[in-house]
Homo-oligomer: A and B are copies of this chain.
Amino acid sequence: MDKLAIGIDLGGTNCRFGAVKADGTLVCQQLMPVPKDRSHKGIISFLCSGIEMTKKKAASESSCIGIGAPGIVDYNNGSIVRSPHFRDWHNFELRKNLEAACSLPVALDNDANLVAAGEAWLGAGQDTKNFILITLGTGIGGGICIDGEIFHGDKGFAGEIGHQILFFDGRKCDCGSKGCWETVVSIDGLRQLIADSNDPRKEKFLQKYHRGLDSITPHDLHKEASDGDIFASLIWKKFGAYLGAGIASLVNILGIHTVIIGGGISNAWDFFISAAKKELSKRTYEESFEKIVIKKALLGETAGILGAAGIAFKMKNS
């Protein structure tokens, strides 16, 4: 029997481990909270224990490991250059350290790139050579797939699509710039859209949220819209317009017409997608717009571990 690959999706709060067969079957998976000790040593030890538990659960040996991490990953070096969730990490050689600790070959990439790799292998990108993957969540994750492969740019930094500028003089972004796409198209962005709204229905809407704006989740806003709240629907439309504008820039730059959207916020699909397409139609050439296909991501929360396992198998077989 072919050995399995362990795919790991390391997030800021939780880490998902999966044992995956070479044909893409997910044998088992588990979610573990990332421990408080986020030192290099602490994380390596945590990852090793997760790997061991996953192997045990799968009742099989594994031959390789793939891991996706949030932040800027130097793909060639196998290091995390910087990460929003692990602020003390600078040029952390995760690949080398994990290989030494678990005695298996390790492939490392940015987390959104591995969601794209997963969708390319087993999900919404299977039939498409080129696509742009967008994950909507705390920020915007991006992966660009060209000719069936994740495009890394010079060093692995490609796909930071959330930091394209949409408002030259916009709000400050965590990255240090201003007016980045993800200042409006993200969880905080949604809250900001509420805060900035002059709609008379806003006050009534906010009365339901005594704990303040920051307590409102995309799930709340989705539920409100589903329940017929007009203000919530307006916010989703605004969100959709900003989403569409950023997609228009990407399509114009890349000439890639398939766009796959995933991430938690995408659950509210029906409330923002028309506005996104309308904005796209206004901001791309007709001949380009008519070729654009926007798809939902298919793999949900397992995309990252499947993509991670996928690049591990590829590395092993190359």
* Contacts from A to B (Cβ < 8 Å): 72, 81-82, 130, 142, 144, 146, 151-161, 163-168, 175-178, 242, 245-246, 248-250, 252-258, 282-285, 287-288, 291
With both beta carbons as reference points, the residue of chain B lying nearest to A288 in the complex is identified as B157
Report whether A249 and B287 are in contact in the complex, using a CB–CB cutoff of 8 Å: no
- Establish whether residues B159 and A130, one from each chain, have CB atoms under 8 Å apart when the complex forms: no
What number of copies of this chain does the assembly contain? 2
Contacts of A246 in B (CB 8 A): 165
Q: Which chain B residues border A159 with CB–CB below 8 Å? A: 253, 255
Q: Which of B160, B165, B176, B254 touches A153 (beta carbons < 8 Å)?
A: B254
Q: Across the interface, do B176 and A253 meet the contact criterion of CB distance under 8 Å? A: no
Nearest-Cβ distance from residue A122 to partner chain B, whole angstroms: 22
A153 touches B168 (CB 8 A): no
> What's the least CB distance linking A292 to chain B, in Å?
10
Complex contacts, A153 vs chain B, CB 8 Å: 130, 254-257
Contact B166 A255 (CB under 8 A): no
CA of A175 to CA of B163 in the docked complex: distance in angstroms? Answer: 23
Tell which of B154, B164, B248, B253 touches A257, judged by Cβ atoms closer than 8 Å.
B154
